[in-house]
Every structure is written in C-alpha cells, then in structure tokens.
Chain A
Amino acid sequence: AQKVTQAQTEISVVEKEDVTLDCVYETRDTTYYLFWYKQPPSGELVFLIRRNSFDEQNEISGRYSWNFQKSTSSFNFTITASQVVDSAVYFCALSEARSYQLTFGKGTKLSVIP
C-alpha cells in the first residue's frame, strides 16, 4: 500500500526566509512517481512537480527546489527567499506505477509573514 506522510501540519516563516517542507513516503513498488501540489487560499490545486523513482537528481525551478532521496524515502521541497504569495497548503503525493491511484499526504500549511 502506498502512503505519504507530511509531518509538518503548519509552518510560519518571515518573508525572505528559506523554508523546507518535508515529505516521507512508503511504497513496495520499485517504479513510482512523486508529486507536489500547491493549494493557495483561493482553493484551486496547482501542480508543481512530478518525479519518477529512477531519477534522483535534485531539481531547481526559480526559488523552488526539490530533494529526492530514495535512501530515506523522502521528497522534500524547499522555497528559497519566501514571499507572501507562497502562503498556501502544499501537498505531497505518490502513485505506484501499477496502481491507478494517487495518494496524498495531509498537507502542510505554510504562512509567510510580511
């Protein structure tokens, strides 16, 4: 069974601070896919990144970066120089290749204080 744990329920940071959102996953499959989605206060769900289990390269996109470590079953998300617009709930999610199901973590609410 696939499982995603986001242990941080809520995080508050002051603008321009860096912040890391943790994601730990469980799967028995060797081929799987990991995702991050953002849900701003307006409520829509916005796709941020997809990573497959064979690609452990870290990824950077502007102020966002992702650290995938199979050894610790983690896929952490870092926002550098946070901004107020980064305030949102962030979800990590997992899909095993042989499953047609996407499993979400419970989300981390990030508040960036000006």
Chain B
Amino acid sequence: NAGVTQTPKFQVLKTGQSMTLQCAQDMNHEYMSWYRQDPGMGLRLIHYSVGAGITDQGEVPNGYNVSRSTTEDFPLRLLSAAPSQTSVYFCASSHRGASYEQYFGPGTRLTVT
C-alpha cells in the first residue's frame, strides 16, 4: 500500500493563480482531511470529508474548495492564491473519523509570491 500520497511536493504560485493540490489514499478510508501548517501555529483544519460526496469546513476554510467524488481522492483547490496561503499542506485519512489515528501524507510546500 502506498498509504496517503500528495502531489506536488513543492509549488510556487503567483498571487491570483489557481491550482489543485492532489491527495489520494489506497486504504479505503472514509474520512479524509486537509490541514495547513504554519510556523508557530500547529496544524489547522481546512476542510474534511466523511465519505464520497460529503464535505465540510474546518477552522480555516476561506480561499479553499474541496470535493470528494471518490473514496480515494480528496483534492484541495486554491481559487485565487494569496501570499497568506503560503504554507505546508498535509492531507490525512482515517478509517473511522477524526477520533481515530490519522494517516498523513508527506505534505506539499506551497509558496505564493
């Protein structure tokens, strides 16, 4: 099993550009989530999904969109990138929700100039 994979590993965007961060898991997990990690701020939840077709907002959802058309994939879209979205993004999955061990992807380091 590959576990949780994220692409790309690194990305540089200009302000106003859009892009999609990809996340996939091969463990048949129902629950998937996106976090951003900023220095001194820990990990903050952006969006999560409890199953295909179901998504909801976390603590810091503004400027991001998600969809969940399959169990395996949970892409995160930046609609119009801003310098404040410079961060490291982690995708995670869990078999039974936020109250169970999360399996994290390796992260995507995004810089917005």
Contacts and interface: CB of A to CB of B under 8 A. Distances in A.
Contacts, number: 59
Contact of A100 (B40, B43, B59, B97): B97
B106 to A, nearest CB: 6
Interface in A83-114: 91, 93, 95-97, 99-107
Nearest to B54: A100
Given A43-B107, A45-B90, A102 B42 contact: no
B7 interface: no
B64 to A, nearest CB: 15
B106 A102 contact: no
Contact of B31 (A9, A96, A100): A100
Interface size band for B = 20 to 34
A8 to B, nearest CB: 13
Interface in B92-113: 92, 97-104, 106-107
Interface stretch (B14-22, B44-52, B68-76): B44-52
A63 interface: no
B40 A9 contact: yes
Nearest to A99: B98
A101 B45 contact: yes
A64 interface: no
A44 to B, nearest CB: 6
A99 B45 CA distance: 13
A83 B27 CA distance: 33
Given A43-B106, A44-B106, A45-B90, A100 B98 contact: yes
Q: Which 7 A-B pairs have the closest CB atoms?
A: A45-B104, A106-B42, A102-B98, A104-B42, A104-B43, A95-B98, A33-B99
19 contacts: A32-B99, A33-B100, A44-B106, A45-B102, A45-B104, A47-B102, A91-B42, A91-B43, A95-B98, A96-B99, A97-B99, A99-B98, A100-B48, A101-B58, A102-B102, A103-B45, A103-B59, A104-B42, A107-B42
